[in-house]
Amino acid sequence: MTNANSGYGRVAARVPPQAWFGVSAVFHYLGPSFAVLLFPAVGVLGVAWFRVASAAAAFCLIASPIRTLRQADWKGRLLLVGLGLCLAVMNTSFYLALDRLPMSLVAAMEFVGTIAVALWGLRTGRNLIALILTVLGVAVLIDVKWASDPMGLFWSALNALLFVGYIVLGHRAAANGADQGVERLGAAMLIAFIALMPLGFVQAVAVLDQPLLILAGIGVGLCSSVIPYICDQLAMSRLPRASFALLLALLPATATVIAAIVLTQIPSFRDLVGIALVMAGVAIHRPLR
């Protein structure tokens, strides 16, 4: 799927797609960890605005979102609008859920939706075993205790649903290679910024006179929506959708590792067993040809 003669295509081809996903998985939880710390000072919607605004600005520098929108046909524009709105609502609902629920619970619900995507692409017994191992590993690793916060569960469920939409639409964006995928991602991020402007800017404008908070908000955007999403495109351009969905099982494992390093939350023996099961499942899985 990747055009190896193009810029991002050459970069994507030089490294195994699983490695690109690994980078994405690390930043998938580094960004939210920083974001949660900003919630009291900036507000949930304000942090979401900073995330998307800084990401849109970064993509304007490394891609050509306006040109991509102008040159797209009506189907392409429909894809860009769909992906942009998905990113806007997904990121906002993710933060609203994190403001009310533990990250482990939000991560668990996020993974549930990807199981259906992985099941859709199953063709071999080997991949079925891989899926079973990863699901068992996630169940052991997360040990979810359901919260009683209905609004938190609503936002978490909405985020999980839109995360599946992101996988589907993101793969369509990457269908013609990593270069076009990144260009389309930039255009979609610009649309997400426009969609979020009326909501988050009211909270964000209150801290525009505080440079440290602005820099922190920009850091959240780079860690959450630029580095991981570009890496996702590099991986998606070379992996079938079901294989990418299965790799998402690594997210709870990376969350555990990051928590140990950043938050000094040392994993228990149960956590290590869960990580081992997830790694085993991902290791034996083979992408469909």
Secondary structure (DSSP) of 93-154:
HHHHHHTTS-HHHHHHHHHHHHHHHHHHT--SHHHHHHHHHHHHHHHHHH-----S-HHHHH
Question: Rounded mean pLDDT of 266-273?
Answer: 74
Contact criterion met (CB below 8 Å) for 185 and 250: no
Question: How far is residue 66's CA from residue 237's CA, in Å, rounded to a whole number?
Answer: 22
Task: Give the separation between CA 176 and CA 153, rounded to whole angstroms.
Answer: 36
Q: Say if CB 204 and CB 49 are below 8 A apart.
A: yes
Distance CA 180, CA 279 (A): 31
The residue with greater pLDDT, 262 or 30, is 30
* pLDDT winner (highest mean) among 9-18, 67-76, 280-289: 67-76
Which has the minimum average pLDDT: 111-120, 125-134, 152-161, 205-214? 111-120
> How far apart are alpha carbons 236 and 252 in whole angstroms?
20
- CA-wise closest residue to 63 among 175, 200, 217, 178: 178
Query: What is the reported pTM?
Result: 0.79
Q: Can you tell me the mean pLDDT for 78-93?
A: 95
Confidence of residue 74 (pLDDT cuts 50, 70, 90): very high
pLDDT digits (tens, 9 = 90+) for 13-53: 787 888 888 888 888 778 877 787 788 888 889 999 999 99
Question: Are 70 and 206 a contacting pair, CB within 8 Å?
Answer: no
In this prediction, residue 144 carries a pLDDT of 56
Q: What pLDDT score was predicted for residue 21?
A: 84
pLDDT for position 2:
44
> Which 8-state DSSP code applies to residue 238?
T
Residue-level pLDDT at 5? 41
Would you state the pLDDT for residue 22?
Answer: 83
Token pair recorded at residue 79: 């894809």
CB contact at 8 A, 232 and 170 = yes
Q: What is the mean pLDDT of residues 90-115?
A: 79
Give the Cβ contact number of residue 80 at 10 Å: 25
pLDDT winner (highest mean) among 7-16, 185-194, 210-219: 185-194
Higher pLDDT, 48 or 114: 48
Lowest mean pLDDT among 2-16, 72-86, 179-193: 2-16
Task: Note whether 233 and 173 are within 8 A (CB).
Answer: yes
pLDDT for 234 equals 87
Alpha-carbon torsion 237, 74, 225, 99, what sign?
Answer: negative
Q: Which of 236, 256, 246, 232 is nearest to 281 (CA)?
A: 246
Which secondary structure element, helix H or strand E, spans residue 214, and what is its range? helix 211-221
Q: For the residues 197-219, what does the mean pLDDT come to? A: 86
